[in-house]
Amino acid sequence: MKTPIVSTTLRYAVLVAMTLIVIVPFVGIVLAALHPADGQVTGLAIPSQLSWENFVLAWDGANFDRLVGSSVLIAVCVVPLALVLATLAAYALAVLKVPGSRFITPAFVFGLTLPVELVVVALYFNLRGVGLLDSYVGIILAEAALFMPFGIYWMHAHFSSVPMELVEASRIDGARDLIVLARVLLPISWPAITTLAVLYFMWSWNQFLLVLVLMQDPNKRTAPAGLGYFVGQYSTNIPLLSAASIIVIAPIVIMYLIFQRSFVSGLTQGAVK
Amino acid sequence: MADLSVATVAPSEAHASGGAAAPRAPRPRRRPRRFVGLLYVLPAAAVYFYFAIWPTLTTVGLSFMTWDGIVPARWAGLDNYTRIFTDTTLLNAIVHSLVLIVFFAVIPVIVGLMLTALLTQKIRHGMTFFRVVFFLPQVLPLVVVGITWRWLYSENGVVNQFLSTIGLGDITRAWLGDYDLALIALGLIGTWTMSGLCMVLFLSGAQKIDPQYYEAATLDGAGAFRQFISITLPELRKEITIAAVITTIAALASFDLVFVTTNGGPANQTTVPGLLVYRLAFNEGNIGGASALAVTLSVIVIGIVTLIRYIAREKP
């Protein structure tokens, strides 16, 4: 079937228009971030001089040393922890079929629908009771729990797609469960695990409400949570706010450009159940 | 990535019983091993229980209490729940979140379907680039999306600049501060964020449709519109359901975006349940009220998600 040139052009025109709608806001904040701090920014305008120092001012003003440090620390702990827990549990539920897996799996997966709002208030008081407020340990475990439904769901789906003959064969050779997991399943699971790791990193980096509530100490807040407070402080200083926003999204955008395939497949394939 | 699809869950269930009955793995030896397997579930279950299930149960318990977080809680029965349906501030927040479904879910799904209709089987070059761009809003922290749009919508923002350029200078205003339009302006940020997700989901789903269907339909004289209704739409049922579920949850449980853009204003015109849960608990010391609202929100989420799944279920 041959498509006439005119209609193909029209289709690309629509795509380009959509692209502009997505891109213009970014162009907007990049341009705004380069305007002189405290100056007026009107719409999309190229500044007469590029004020790169805004990034330094925003970095120091919002105390990004601390914020980015916290974000990195939390993400670096949450991602491997949540991965290991979800992989082990999904292995037991999907491959070993431990007793009760018929009920345990849905119990985890049910959590996918529940909003953070449902747990955050009680979590604040529960953690206050055991001294885990303002604590990295508290946040890390809370995020690991929050991401567990998707992780178990995702790894369960992946392990279920592995031909059982592979597992049975090595079992017959006398391999123990953990050896089967490490030698047989993990080597063929890296694409699924990478995707999950990338999503976990993103969710951890972007997490806002949980951090806002569980981290009252300004020195331990994450980058997005710190930015949430920075808005209140500098609400009219558009150049600095824009610069701060770019600092916060830079890691996730770089990550996205490198692993875009994982992001898209994780959020689309992972969703299609 | 087809190997990751969950359609494969079912056959492996059947395999479990088959595996247990296999002659080379006799029952008595398998049993203890299967129970030992529970140890692998234990760490995940422990973390999930203490940091998700236990707080959920606590929230449900607290929703029947009057508690300020300090002095001992008192039993309140259903008071906190009746207040949700009698207090206009609380009720309005729920109504607002339902309105947001139109902008976060309905419009993005329609936009996604229109683009799919326009592009399926037609565009071959550059789709990877467009996919990367369209999906971008989905990976950004909503705090940054909110800050960006706060400025775009402001008096001197890009939205007004654009309107002035096309001769609509009369209607320019600070959109997020407008009493009547703030909620719509907020909703359109959701449309911007969610449309790409729907588009990418539908386009990747449409790629899996067998081209022969379209060829056969063309031979039968079916036009493009007819083909879309009879082939593309039914084949995308799974993707549409998922898109609707994800975006609806995002609308009902929105917090980050509202917190940084309007913080509920002007005059409580853009409050959402998430925002009031936070305010009631941490600004007003009304833990019982916050918990009841959180439970109500979750019930609404589960109810609507169930409804979407029911409407989209596979009909025999």
Q: CB–CB of A88 and B44 under 8 A? A: yes
Cβ contacts of B124 within 8 Å, gap of 6 or more: none
Residue in A1, A264, A269 nearest the CB of B5: A269
pLDDT (0 to 100) of residue A123: 95
Q: CB–CB of A94 and B12 under 8 A? A: yes
Neighbours of A188 (CB within 10 A): 13
What whole-number distance in Å separates Cα of residue A254 and Cα of residue A252? 5
Q: Which residues of B touch A11 (CB under 8 A)?
A: 118-119, 122-123
Of the candidates A225, A205, A204, A213, the one whose C-alpha atom is nearest the C-alpha of residue A123 is: A213
Q: CB–CB of B242 and A93 under 8 A? A: no
Evaluate whether ipTM surpasses 0.95. no
Residue B9 predicted with pLDDT over 50: no
Cβ contacts of A175 within 8 Å, gap of 6 or more: A183, A184
Neighbours of A184 (CB within 10 A): 18
- Higher-pLDDT residue of A127 and B29 is A127
Give per-residue pLDDT as tens, B277-314. 999 999 999 999 999 999 999 999 999 999 999 998 87
pLDDT (0 to 100) of residue A263: 84
Give per-residue pLDDT as tens, B26-61. 444 455 567 788 899 999 999 999 999 999 999 999
Contact of A267 with B197, CB cutoff 8 Å: yes
pLDDT (0 to 100) of residue B33: 61
Cis status of the peptide bond prior to B266, with omega within 30 of 0? yes
What whole-number distance in Å separates Cα of residue B262 and Cα of residue B146? 9
Neighbours of A80 (CB within 10 A): 13
Is residue A260 packed enough to be buried (19+ CB in 10 Å), middle (13-18) or exposed (0-12)? middle
pLDDT (0 to 100) of residue A16: 92
pLDDT (0 to 100) of residue A272: 56
Q: Which residues of B touch A98 (CB under 8 A)?
A: 34-35, 37-38, 40-41
- H helices within B37-126, ranges in order? 38-48, 54-62, 79-86, 88-101, 107-119
Mean pLDDT, chain A, integer: 89
pLDDT (0 to 100) of residue B2: 34
Residue B117 predicted with pLDDT over 60: yes
- Name residue B74's beta-bridge partners: B66
Neighbours of A136 (CB within 10 A): 15
Give per-residue pLDDT as tens, A150-205. 999 999 999 999 888 888 888 777 778 888 888 889 998 998 999 999 999 999 99
Is B6 in CB contact (< 8 Å) with chain A? Answer: yes
* The 3-state secondary structure of A27-92, one letter per residue: HHHHHHHCCCCCCCCCCCCCCCCCCCHHHHHHHHHCCHHHHHHHHHHHHHHHHHHHHHHHHHHHHH
pLDDT (0 to 100) of residue B18: 39
Range from A74-83, A93-102, B23-32, B146-155 that averages highest in pLDDT: A74-83
pLDDT (0 to 100) of residue A47: 82
pLDDT (0 to 100) of residue A42: 80
pLDDT (0 to 100) of residue B11: 37
Percent of chain B with pLDDT over 90: 63
